[in-house]
Structure 1
Amino acid sequence: MKKTTITLCIICILVSGCADKNYLEKMSIVTGIAYDKGEENLLRGTLSILQFDPASPNISHIITGENDTTKGIRIHADREASHEIVMGQLRVVLYSTALAENGLLSLTDTLARDPNITDLLYLTIAKGEAGKLLQPESTEGAPTPGNYIQRLIEKNVANEQLPESNLHKFNHDLYDIGIDPVLPLLDIEEEKTKVYSVALFQDDRMVTALDPDMIFYLLLLKNPYRKGKLQLSLDAEDFKDYIREESYEENKDTPLDIALQQIRSSSTFHSRKGEPAKQTVRISLKQRLLESTLQLHFQDEQLIKKLEQAIEEEVKEKLEEFMEILKDHETDPIGFGKRYRSAHGKNLLNDEEWRSRIKDLDVTFEVNVELQRYGIID
């Protein structure tokens, strides 16, 4: 027993003596990087750095440099930083719109090849310059702008307001056949970074940004909703028989706006072998009607059926508008091509063939809506 105790003590001493010691006070921890076009075709990088310095009240720092490559920018940052630059806590990378429109393959590839960088970090697009998004002082308690943007995206993904956008997902959709990546599009307003929209890609090139109202329909087709939210404007004239008289007289020239929450959805995709561009999508929506701008007689079952039908028609119309956007820009963020290959054989359709067929997509939507609760606030 005594020999065993002595042996364990010796092992612990040897292990602790051989381990590398990394002191936070001696490291500059990169939490976010923004890339823009620099001068003379150079790449400009802006690094959001967390540095624990007991002598300084400010632990957040920004370093900017230009070089031909991302690794060159890091070398420049090392020359400017008083402590060693470490990348292990990098959580968000932002690209300017100009870079994204030219293609991100070389920039995302170098991230994927770096063993010190997690493939769960978030990729985002900045409306205009990316570096400006790492400058705002308003970070709501986050230690750096990089951490703030990470939290912003995490919250919106968890709340089903944004699609998943980490490095792993981007590369998976980039290299897979029959699907294109999407990334969040961020902007700055009143010195605060916010989610502006979603950028659609054709392979690694950004081709357009969705209208914010269309994000719901992108997500509806990509993944099932579990707690989605949606606001719709309906024609009040269609519901005048169910609107309380005093409410209708006061607001007869305004639309009937309704807020839907706790949306749960499911979608099934159908296609015939040999007809990849012709598909049918059946969508089921169950939701709670939380708010209405006009006072309705919700005890009338005919009203509920009429509301469900109106919502079905509105959702179907918006989905058709969304499809026109995809066809105009020849992009497939939903994965219609991937779903066809999965259903009928992966050898039946290659990437080039599918790209040429996107503009001919003919998708029929069948939408079924069920209102389950009517907790209304006027």
Structure 2
Amino acid sequence: MKKRCLLLLILLAVSLLGGCVENKYLESLGMITAVGYDESDNNELQGTIVLYQFNPAMQDVEKVLSSQANTTKGARLSLNFDTDHKLVSGQLRIAIYGRELAGKGISHLVDTLERDSSIGNMVYLAVSDTTAEDILTYEMTEKHSNKGTYLYNLVKQNVESELLIAPTLQEFITDTGSVGKDPILPILSASEGTLNIKGFALFHKDRFVKEIKNEDLFYIRSIIENYNTAGSVEVGLPLEPFKSHISRDDNSNREEMNEEEKIFIVLDSIKSDHHIKAGKQKKPTFTIKLKIDARLHEITEKLKLSEPKIMKLVEKETSKYIKKNIMKNIKMLQEAKVDPIGFGMEYKTVRNHGSLTQEEWDNLYKDATFDVKVELNLIRTGVTD
């Protein structure tokens, strides 16, 4: 019995001592949650980091450090002189690249992240509307415990809501290393006391070459990935086809309708299925079929949606609208010489072009033709405005 009591006391003492050591160890660490890179005035690399410093006596403690060097590791070494905490990368959540730097290519910087064994491949990447330093040093009206964590959650919740494509380190490396596929990253902006996603950066390999607005991403994303219940989109349809179906009590002057008037519809609970097929001829031709099931969540005019012919009209006009915008965005991608959808990979597979180079695909892509078919099925209706 005495031996058992003695053993229990020893185990208890060891666990308590272990806890003390662990606390002291955490207190000595500066856990990097975000990094940012810009090109400095003297052509060096400017690195900015956001740290989480553990302090049991306080809530989350944030510290932002910045330094210049020729390499990312050089900047990291320099930053060590600015803190009494040991810098560690295991909690890195997001890496941000300044707009000017991203336009010159970031593969060498991304490669550094990939080579760091302490950094996971699900780290998010983003581009700053101005500089990465501007984003990471911005004073937000609503205080957050750690800006790196906030930015990670900002991107994460939009990925989970299917409003953007997951901009992970793994996806970026895969896309830049593939012939016929380019990355897309979110663009972060600082304004009116908050940080937000203001658009998306289209890359040709590792260079940022074109910005698109948030509302255009739906039409690009819909033929890259399938939606599964969380997606939503607002469309503005010409009012003319619906003129005779709008209730007269609310619209007594529809005879004098402006041609530019629109009826706005919000679709949500979107489920989609897309197929892209390349033709076998030498000139790239693609057939794109997109099938969408969605709920009509909101509409800005009073229509008798209980009548099948009116629902069919809404489906027809919305399908035409989505097709038009997909075609418009594909043309934009061709003109910008970027291929985030992966048409080149599909062409390469169908024609067995195992040796197709990026330069060869760039020359073929600009003359590619596309046949887009969209089928929308409204599964139920929601509220009307």
Q: What TM-score do the two structures reach when normalised by structure 1?
A: 0.91
Once superposed, what is the RMSD of the aligned Cα atoms? 2.5
Q: 1:228 aligns with which of 210, 226, 231?
A: 231
Question: Equivalents in 1 of 2:265, 2:281: separation in Å?
Answer: 42
Aligned to 2:252: 249
Query: Which sits farther off after the overlay, 225-234 or 20-29?
Result: 20-29
Instruction: Give secondary structure in 1 for the equivalent of 2:223.
Output: helix
1:39 Cα offset (Å): 2.3
Please say if residues 323 and 372 of structure 2, whose CA atoms lie closer than 8 Å, have aligned partners that are also in contact: yes
Query: Which sits farther off after the overlay, 127-136 or 305-314?
Result: 127-136
Please say if residues 91 and 147 of structure 1, whose CA atoms lie closer than 8 Å, have aligned partners that are also in contact: yes
Please say if residues 264 and 287 of structure 1, whose CA atoms lie closer than 8 Å, have aligned partners that are also in contact: yes
1:141 Cα offset (Å): 6.6
1:42 Cα offset (Å): 0.8
Please say if residues 258 and 293 of structure 1, whose CA atoms lie closer than 8 Å, have aligned partners that are also in contact: yes
Q: 1:279 aligns with which of 260, 263, 286?
A: 286
Deviation string for 1:326-367 (max 9, x for gaps)? 111111000011122233424263322112112112111011
Aligned to 1:361: 368
Please say if residues 167 and 186 of structure 2, whose CA atoms lie closer than 8 Å, have aligned partners that are also in contact: yes
Please say if residues 36 and 47 of structure 2, whose CA atoms lie closer than 8 Å, have aligned partners that are also in contact: yes
Aligned to 2:335: 328
Aligned length: 370
Alignment of 1:125-164 (within 5 A): 125-138=127-140, 142-164=144-166
Please say if 1:44 is aligned against 2:51.
no
Please say if residues 283 and 367 of structure 2, whose CA atoms lie closer than 8 Å, have aligned partners that are also in contact: no
Instruction: Give secondary structure in 1 for the equivalent of 2:250.
Output: helix
Deviation string for 1:284-331 (max 9, x for gaps)? 011111111111111221111111110111111101110111111111
Amino acid at match of 2:289: R
Question: Equivalents in 1 of 2:142, 2:151: separation in Å?
Answer: 10
Aligned to 2:62: 60
1:57 Cα offset (Å): 6.5
Deviation string for 1:64-97 (max 9, x for gaps)? 1111111111111100011111111111000011
* C-alpha spacing 1:139/1:350, structure 2 compared with 1 (3 Å): farther
Please say if residues 239 and 263 of structure 2, whose CA atoms lie closer than 8 Å, have aligned partners that are also in contact: yes
1:130 Cα offset (Å): 1.2
Question: Equivalents in 2 of 1:313, 1:267: separation in Å?
Answer: 16
Aligned to 1:25: 27
Question: Equivalents in 2 of 1:147, 1:32: separation in Å?
Answer: 8
Query: Which sits farther off after the overlay, 49-58 or 276-285?
Result: 49-58
Please say if 1:302 is aligned against 2:309.
yes
Deviation string for 1:130-174 (max 9, x for gaps)? 111112343867421111000000000010111111111100011
Instruction: Give secondary structure in 1 for the equivalent of 2:251.
Output: helix
* C-alpha spacing 1:164/1:99, structure 2 compared with 1 (3 Å): same
Please say if residues 136 and 145 of structure 1, whose CA atoms lie closer than 8 Å, have aligned partners that are also in contact: no
1:377 Cα offset (Å): 2.1
Unaligned 5+ runs, structure 2: none
Unaligned 5+ runs, structure 1: none
Deviation string for 1:95-116 (max 9, x for gaps)? 0110110000111111111112
Deviation string for 1:258-294 (max 9, x for gaps)? 1111111111111222336211101101111111111
Aligned to 2:193: 191
Aligned to 2:207: 205
Aligned to 1:316: 323
Query: Which sits farther off after the overlay, 56-65 or 359-368?
Result: 56-65
1:376 Cα offset (Å): 2.6
Question: Equivalents in 2 of 1:177, 1:322: separation in Å?
Answer: 21
* C-alpha spacing 1:313/1:128, structure 2 compared with 1 (3 Å): same
Query: Which sits farther off after the overlay, 340-349 or 316-325?
Result: 340-349
* C-alpha spacing 1:208/1:294, structure 2 compared with 1 (3 Å): same
Question: Equivalents in 2 of 1:335, 1:326: separation in Å?
Answer: 11
Percent identity of equivalent pairs: 30
Query: Which sits farther off after the overlay, 94-103 or 109-118?
Result: 109-118
Instruction: Give secondary structure in 1 for the equivalent of 2:284.
Output: strand
Q: What TM-score do the two structures reach when normalised by structure 2?
A: 0.90
Question: Equivalents in 1 of 2:283, 2:381: separation in Å?
Answer: 40
